[in-house]
Homo-oligomer: A and B are copies of this chain.
Amino acid sequence: MAAYKLLLLPGDGIGPEIMAEAEKLIAFLSAAGVASFETEKGLVGGSAYDAHGQAISESDMALAQSADAVLLAAVGGPKWDGVPYDVRPEAGLLRLRKDLGLFANLRPAICYPALVDASSLKPELVDGLDIMIVRELTGGVYFGEPKEITDLGNGQKRGVDTQVYETYEIERIARIAFELARKRSNKVTSSEKANVMKSGLLWREVVTALHAREYADVQLEHMLADALGMQLVRRPKQFDVIVTDNLFGDLLSDVASMLTGSLGMLPSASLGGEDAATGKRKALYEPCHGSAPDIAGKALANPIAMIGSLVMALRYSFGLIPAADAIDKAIADVLAAGLRTADIAGPTDKPVSTSQMGDAIVAEL
């Protein structure tokens, strides 16, 4: 039986509650003999800061480096609003992304049939929606230098961030998008602001050249990021795969996931490059939603995005496709049976708790 090392990082807010449900699934998969999972637990974000003054410790970083995959729940919350910039909760997540080289962030925006009415959009606009946003995750304005605040005297300061992209960074993320599109509806929409940004101009140039060279069979369109924001609201089903930079990806993927009405349901995968020797990719899986400090500790959180993140790990890191399909089906079945956590409950539904939802999915298996 194959053995995999998983690092679990519950993080902050509702993180520990939803991670507990993913752990039930991991235990089930081990007991069922699907694979043997060796799990370790670490701290990230505010909880790491509270424990040792860093957003992630060196030893947890070492565990992340040696794990076959990392499962992260969520980081941040108002409790840490005042902590120094370098050790704020987000710094832990950003360091994981950067140090593990997780340049490709895959964010599906899917509208679950059972939840069409939970969307703020008219049902016919989102019914059947299935977009894959491919966000560049280790470059752009998130990491470019200089990134600083300078005191200019006279009460004036200057804040600077730098957006940088090099050809190879654009090429490797575009490649991921084209490959995914081939397995889906064969269409890629690449987005930037080439009309005002030089990095956007380079982005468009590199994507266009790669497309002509290797992916001419895939339909490619370019759309300015502001126009894409509009079109997501207007007619979201026109999209298949969207590829964009770190900052636009942050914003546009949040808009897209909110469209679905299923924010508590959406997982994401962050993948590194293939190791030349082993062919393996480093990987981190996390829900699209945040740490929701307002509902933390109340058993209200929806664990499905977290469980879905485990499913993505089974699929992309471990190749355990039948197990992944089985869990996906179990999730669809409990939803079809009417189970709802508070976030997706309609006016007439009686919501279940976080652990009731997790238990029901395990039971369905």
Binary per-residue interface labels of chain A (120-161) against chain B in the complex, 1 for a CB within 8 Å, 0 otherwise: 111001000000000000000110100111001001111111
Roughly how many angstroms separate A247 CA and B255 CA in the complex, as a whole number? 16
Contact B198 A149 (CB under 8 A): yes
Asked if A277 CB lies within 8 Å of chain B CBs, one says no
Number of A residues near B (Cβ < 8 Å) is: 62
Partner among B200, B254, B255 whose Cβ is within 8 Å of the Cβ of A159:
B200
Give the number of copies in the complex: 2
Contact partners of A166 in chain B: CB under 8 A: 152, 156-159
Contact partners of A144 in chain B: CB under 8 A: 160
Contact A88 B255 (CB under 8 A): no
CB contact list, A199-248 vs B, under 8 A:
199-203, 206, 225-227, 229-230, 232-235, 247-248
Looking at A189-197, A307-315, A347-355, the stretch in contact with chain B turns out to be A189-197
Contact A230 B255 (CB under 8 A): yes
CB distance from A222 to the nearest CB of B (A): 10
Binary per-residue interface labels of chain A (256-268) against chain B in the complex, 1 for a CB within 8 Å, 0 otherwise: 0111000100000
Contact A197-B161, Cβ < 8 Å, known A250-B226, A251-B229? yes
Contact B202 A149 (CB under 8 A): yes
Asked if A10 CB lies within 8 Å of chain B CBs, one says no
CB distance from A86 to the nearest CB of B (A): 11
Contact partners of A142 in chain B: CB under 8 A: 196
Asked if A318 CB lies within 8 Å of chain B CBs, one says no
Contact partners of A147 in chain B: CB under 8 A: 197-198
Contact A168 B156 (CB under 8 A): yes
CB distance from A258 to the nearest CB of B (A): 4
Asked if A167 CB lies within 8 Å of chain B CBs, one says yes
Contact A120 B233 (CB under 8 A): yes
CB distance from A93 to the nearest CB of B (A): 10
Asked if A90 CB lies within 8 Å of chain B CBs, one says yes
Contact B162 A247 (CB under 8 A): no
Roughly how many angstroms separate A96 CA and B199 CA in the complex, as a whole number? 23
Contact partners of A195 in chain B: CB under 8 A: 76, 88, 90
Asked if A163 CB lies within 8 Å of chain B CBs, one says yes
Partner among B88, B159, B227, B254 whose Cβ is within 8 Å of the Cβ of A203:
B159
In order of increasing CB-CB distance, the 6 nearest A-B pairs are A159-B202, A159-B199, A230-B258, A226-B254, A161-B163, A229-B255
Given A85-B198, A156-B167, A160-B198, 14 other A-B contacts at CB below 8 A?
A85-B201, A120-B233, A120-B235, A141-B141, A152-B166, A152-B167, A158-B166, A158-B202, A159-B199, A159-B203, A160-B163, A161-B199, A226-B251, A229-B258
